[in-house]
Amino acid sequence: MSRHPDPYAVLGLAPSADLKEVRAAFRRLARIHHPDANPGDARADALFRRAREAYEQILSSSKARRSEAARGRDVKVRVFLTLPEAFLGCRKTLRYPQRQDGEGFPEQTREVSVQIPAGVRDGSSFRYADEGHMGPGGAGSLVVIAVLKPDRYFEVRGNNLHYSLLVGIDSYVEGGQSRLPHPGGTISIDIPPRFVPGMVLKLAGRGLPAYDGHPAGDLLVKLDLCLPKKLSRRERETLSLLLELPGFKVPVDEQGFQPRE
């Protein structure tokens, strides 16, 4: 915001003017030069912004705050983030209506660029002073509330990231590696051979980063066996051959029951 050597003169007032006179002067100029009343008029737009800057400068001065300390109301804005944006941090441009408390003041569209810190959780909020609604004693705050959008790969639960991994028969029998699309960058994990379906691998510290009192979370990978939902005739014949091999037979006793190992 530009600062004027004499903001009172911009509003056509003497430096001794009180806040009531300041508000009335700004209201009068705003009605005359507001962009909605002068579409496409660059000069009117410049005069309106000049009057608004002078008005805000007076309200934010120590004199105005001593005279009448009632600040404007806060503005709450939700910002929707992808998981990588929340994980790594990002910059967002927010647009919202900003109002002046009192009757007769036009509503303005405000545009603010904010930095979202790395590791924010769903529902985290950040306060930016002097960006809210205008009041006699200055502007209130802009309160930004983070909302995490559902991710294609991961589920966020608290500080942890959860991932479900289907493993093919070859990796199940022999073990192997698999790549995961982690929001901090692709990572590889080792798959143990002949794992118990449903087991969970824990990668400590690979969940959401530490943030604002929240510890770093873990990445929890659930392993399941990838089996076909429908078999072709050839697949059924191949499976029948495999089931004839000793390693694929279920061990049972002479009564046909499966004993304890």
Of 148, 183, 199, which residue sits at a domain end? 148
In a domain, 258, yes or no: no
Provide the residue type at 71 as one letter.
R
Q: Alpha helices of 34-119 — where are they, by DSSP H?
A: 42-60, 62-67, 83-88
- Do both 205 and 186 map to the same domain? yes
Per residue in 170-223, pLDDT (tens digit) is 899 899 999 999 999 999 999 999 999 999 999 999 999 999 888 999 999 999
Q: Which of 148, 179, 203 is the last residue of a domain?
A: 148
Number of C-alpha atoms within 13 angstroms, CB side, residue 238?
Answer: 5
Q: Containing domain of residue 48, as a range?
A: 7-67
pLDDT at 164: 96
| CATH number assigned to the domain comprising residue 21 | 1.10.287.110
- What gap in Å lies between CA 203 and CA 208, rounded to an integer? 12
Instruction: Provide the pLDDT for residue 63.
Output: 54
Q: How confident is the model at residue 103, as a pLDDT?
A: 56
The structure's pTM equals: 0.67
- The share of the chain scoring above pLDDT 70, in percent, equals 92
What domain count does the chain have?
3
- The verdict on 192 and 129 lying in the same domain is no
Same-domain status, 87 and 133: yes
Domain boundary among 67, 89, 110: 67
Tell whether the model's pLDDT for residue 11 goes beyond 80: yes
CB atoms within 10 A of CB 132: 25
Q: What is the pLDDT of residue 205?
A: 95
Q: Is the pLDDT of residue 109 over 70?
A: yes
Buried b / exposed e over 219-245, threshold 16 CB at 10 Å, is bbbebeeeeeeeeeeeeeeeeeeeeee
pLDDT of residue 102: 61
Q: Are residues 143 and 170 in the same domain?
A: no
Are 172 and 228 spatial neighbours (Cβ–Cβ below 8 Å)? no
- pLDDT at res. 65: 54
In a domain, 232, yes or no: no
Q: Do 166 and 183 lie in a common domain?
A: yes
In CATH, what number is assigned to the domain containing residue 108? 2.60.260.20
Q: 220-248, pLDDT tens digit by residue? A: 999 999 988 888 999 888 888 888 888 77
